[in-house]
Amino acid sequence: VITVTTSVSFSAAHDYRREEWSDDKNRAVFGLCANPEGHGHNYRVLVTVSGPVDLETGMVINFDQLHPLLISCVTAELDHVYLNRQIPFFASRIPTLENVALYLWQRLSPEIAALGVTLTRIRVYEHDDLFVDYDGFLGETAAA
């Protein structure tokens, strides 16, 4: 299997809080991220797809098809938004890095399938030294 990976970025705000918890419990579990005024990150999303190499083009997918899709589904929708407040997926889920990866998988998987390739992995960076990988299997039921 050959995989192809490209990346896009977005900057967004979020906070980690459970409204049914006390302020003390939110601070104990989520630390500074529980600040209800929020904070921001510059996220980097690596999207990996796989498929057969086309005999005519020599490509799994044309970058000119994949990259605009990521700009429209990731950057255009998430850049400079407050994830908790503006993205319905996060109305009931804390926008942790893990849940951002689950969201992106749900958002991108059908769009990428429509291009004739398979979404294989989503990697989301919150910092250079912190990222999550999602392969579409673990936690899928939790995302439903």
Residues marked as catalytic = 33, 80, 126
Strand partners, 3: 50
Rounded distance between C-alpha atoms, residue 126 and residue 144, angstroms: 23
**Cα–Cα–Cα angle for 31, 18, 28, rounded to 5 degrees:** 25
121-133 in b/e form (b: 16+ CB < 10 A) is bbbbbbeeeebbe
Q: What secondary structure does DSSP assign to 67-126, as a single string?
A: HHHHIIIIIHHHTT-BHHHH-GGGGSS---HHHHHHHHHHHHHHHHHTTTSEEEEEEEEE
